[in-house]
A = this chain, B = another copy of it.
């Protein structure tokens, strides 16, 4: 493709993206396609000769858009929000256009130094003190794996340089709550700890980790000769946005020389509001922390912010230095290849930079306050509505609810079927997208607010849709 064609197609695609965003609200949120429906629109064999993307726009409309679940739709209430602002889209265009690969400082100094700048801005924005240093990872799952690897190496005196986990006498143990994200278990298993050395601790009535049960589990492990290694605190759990007691957990972690990692994947963004920072009180003394600007901020997937208090330890765990990666500036600069699992890395920092140039901290704060207020509005509706039950406190932007019609009494199996049917009815209508989930064995529906385009009227609409679906399911319609 020559540059003239690129210009022409590029202008068309910029308008295509803007058109898509403008009509987003009229599209079904969850893709209505059936399995295999998109695949069969494609040839089974690759094109032998190229056509210069002549039919690309047509193909996008015909083969792609119907198969997309629209994460930026104002009625996207599933999972956690994942916002890609216009500014972030433009930044991705720039990053792709430059095609820089920032594994080492020398391989694109700007990729490294802009990341240092914006990750320090972000540190200040969420109220972390000097002494915390950030790096961009793809996702919280990967950052958490790095945290557990760092914990493993600290507790084992750098066993990776000797016999690894295979040479340890006493097993190392990892602790988190039963409401911790599945990525904690995945990371513990991939890091080699083994499921028998992972303790998922009971939670209290607010679904926060019970410190008494944690201490009990640690005592049992120590009595059996096992070594407490890592503790993961969840600030804003995926199920209900419950908040583990970070300060109390830190005391336990320090008493037993354990690594404390904080998973604030969603909630971290709320910390741009000073009034929210009580939710992670104590966090400044943790060892590592992850949150995802690609969730509730305006920064498109993937952009996960991993902060550590001892970057030298991270580098010691992650670095390898073959001769072909040495550069003249080593020692004087940051080489992010040593802060992560992959070697290569895209220029992702430009996304946060563009987003903040566009919106400013105050613009972001206003949006987060709007979303928190919308969640409180929905909470109040649920609390007042007959036949509806709120399943958990609402410290952030997710409201967990279920419909409890009198006829079903306390029949949990029937309630589960009923609420799954309600969620499916709403999702398949295309009017909104919600996530059904289990909380301590009870079926609920999560309404997770925070798409950039979501205004109160969209929350009102999903509440109506839920009530309509409940009525239809109750009447057997």
Q: Check if B97 sits within 8 Å of A21, measured CB to CB.
A: yes
Q: Check if B186 sits within 8 Å of A318, measured CB to CB.
A: yes
Q: How long is the Cα–Cα vector from A317 to B113 in the complex, in angstroms?
A: 37
**A79-B301 contact given A108-B69, A196-B163, CB 8 Å threshold:** no
Q: Check if B71 sits within 8 Å of A101, measured CB to CB.
A: yes
Q: Check if B194 sits within 8 Å of A142, measured CB to CB.
A: no
A10 interface hit (Cβ, 8 Å): yes
Q: How long is the Cα–Cα vector from A33 to B5 in the complex, in angstroms?
A: 33
Residues facing B in A12-65 (CB within 8 A) are 13-18, 20-22, 30-31, 33, 35-39, 42, 44-53, 55-56, 59-60, 63-65
Q: Check if B344 sits within 8 Å of A139, measured CB to CB.
A: yes
A339 interface hit (Cβ, 8 Å): no
Residue of B nearest to A424 (CB): B328
Give chain A's interface secondary structure class.
helix
Residues of B within 8 A of A56 (CB): 90, 354, 357
A197 interface hit (Cβ, 8 Å): yes
Residue of B nearest to A83 (CB): B99
**A15-B20 contact given A79-B324, A182-B320, A360-B48, CB 8 Å threshold:** no
Question: 0/1 per residue, A327-349, Cβ < 8 Å to B?
Answer: 01100110000000111111000
Interface stretch, picked from A116-124, A277-285, A368-376, A469-477, is A116-124
**A33-B109 contact given A85-B1, A361-B48, CB 8 Å threshold:** yes
Q: Which of B45, B162, B333 contacts A196 (CB 8 A)?
A: B162
Q: Check if B89 sits within 8 Å of A96, measured CB to CB.
A: yes
How close is A152's CB to chain B, nearest CB, in angstroms?
8
Q: Which of B83, B185, B318, B342 contacts A138 (CB 8 A)?
A: B342
Q: Check if A341 sits within 8 Å of B141, measured CB to CB.
A: yes
Question: 0/1 per residue, A171-190, Cβ < 8 Å to B?
Answer: 11000000001110110011
A287 interface hit (Cβ, 8 Å): no
Residue of B nearest to A10 (CB): B14
Interface size class of A (residues with CB under 8 A): 35 or more
Q: Check if B446 sits within 8 Å of A324, measured CB to CB.
A: yes
Q: How long is the Cα–Cα vector from A342 to B187 in the complex, in angstroms?
A: 10
**A9-B90 contact given A106-B30, A342-B139, A424-B328, CB 8 Å threshold:** yes
**A45-B14 contact given A88-B96, A138-B138, CB 8 Å threshold:** no
Q: Which of B37, B152, B294, B356 contacts A109 (CB 8 A)?
A: B37
Q: How long is the Cα–Cα vector from A260 to B140 in the complex, in angstroms?
A: 30
A254 interface hit (Cβ, 8 Å): no
Q: Check if A117 sits within 8 Å of B50, measured CB to CB.
A: no
Residues of B within 8 A of A66 (CB): 110
Q: How long is the Cα–Cα vector from A358 to B49 in the complex, in angstroms?
A: 8
Residues facing B in A67-123 (CB within 8 A) are 67-72, 78-79, 82-90, 92-101, 105-111, 113-114, 116-118, 120-122
Q: Check if B49 sits within 8 Å of A360, measured CB to CB.
A: yes
The contact sample of 12 A-B pairs, CB cut-off 8 A, is: A10-B18, A33-B110, A38-B109, A46-B360, A64-B350, A67-B114, A141-B341, A161-B194, A161-B195, A163-B171, A164-B192, A323-B438
Given contacts A65-B98, A67-B110, A161-B195, 17 further A-B pairs with CB under 8 A are: A6-B14, A7-B18, A10-B11, A17-B93, A20-B98, A46-B124, A47-B360, A50-B362, A64-B114, A67-B111, A71-B100, A72-B99, A84-B96, A164-B165, A165-B194, A166-B168, A183-B320
